[in-house]
Amino acid sequence: MLKPGDTVSDFTLENNKGESVSLSDFKGKKVVVYFYPKDNTPGCTTEACSFRDEIDQFSDKNTVILGISKDSVKSHERFIENYDLPFQLLSDPEAEVIQQFGAWGEKKNYGKTYMGIIRSTFILDEQGKVLHTFEKVKTKDHALAVLEEIDKF
């Protein structure tokens, strides 16, 4: 998993509208990149809505939110519509960016072991360098924890 001080390689993924979005599009802004397992599931919805509810504070801090999962562009579009999410969700069906960040790994659920997205969040500075990582995310108040960390920089 990427750590503070690491520089993130530029990447390009499709957003919920099918448009290409690159990390480099946000030079000069802080970027919160969060990885989540699945659109429209309880934990992922709680997490996305926590960012939605604090979006003005992120904007005031010159910070952009990008959510990334393996879900399709169409699934992201429905997720955004269902919960009025005011930020972009990016589709990474091959998990290339997910793996680049180290957010792909072994998970256990109901006694079964499988590979999947590890719910994690990265705060990047204006040049794409990692400032902080969250490896154990509590979905309910996650956005507030991220805002607290941003205030330290």
Q: Is residue 52 packed enough to be buried (19+ CB in 10 Å), middle (13-18) or exposed (0-12)?
A: middle
C-alpha 135 chain-centroid distance: 12
Candidates 19, 11, 4, 16; CA nearest to 123 is 4
* Catalytic pick among 33, 44, 98, 124: 44
Residues ≥6 apart with Cβ < 8 Å to 14: 20, 21, 73, 90, 91
- Structure tokens belonging to residue 148: 């607290």
44 in catalytic set: yes
What positions carry a catalytic annotation?
44
